[in-house]
């Protein structure tokens, strides 16, 4: 995936998830022309605990987002 396409996806993800600002995704190719970008961050909870959140984005090689999902764990 080209860096320009990754930058385009990052802009859209950062707008929706402010805490990811400045974090780079792990990029892997799912199918030819389709890529999975994974972002992770820890959210602080009351009592000193934390919660890890993962954002998964499926995008094409031009940076157009097909699907975005969030998981907590």
Among candidate residues 36, 72, 69, the one with its CA nearest the CA of residue 55: 69
The reported pLDDT for the residue numbered 43 is: 86
Average pLDDT rounded to a whole number, residues 57-69 = 96
Rg (CA), the chain: 13
Residue carrying structure tokens 């940076």? 63
pTM metric for this prediction: 0.87
pLDDT at 1 over 90: no
pLDDT in tens, 3-61: 999 999 999 999 999 989 989 999 999 999 999 999 999 988 899 899 999 999 999 99
Of 52, 53, 51, 66, residue with least CA distance to 5: 66
User: In whole angstroms, what is the distance from residue 45 CA to residue 61 CA?
Assistant: 36
Q: What CATH number is given for 3-72 in this structure? A: 3.10.450
**Residue 64, pLDDT score:** 96
């Amino acid at each position: 995936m080209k860096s320009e396409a990754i930058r385009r996806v990052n802009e859209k993800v950062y707008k929706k998830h402010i805490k990811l600002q400045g974090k780079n995704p792990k990029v892997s190719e799912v199918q030819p022309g389709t890529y999975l970008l994974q972002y992770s961050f820890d959210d602080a909870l009351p009592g000193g605990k934390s919660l890890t959140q993962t954002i998964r984005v499926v995008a094409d090689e031009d940076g157009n987002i097909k699907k975005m999902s969030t998981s907590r764990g």
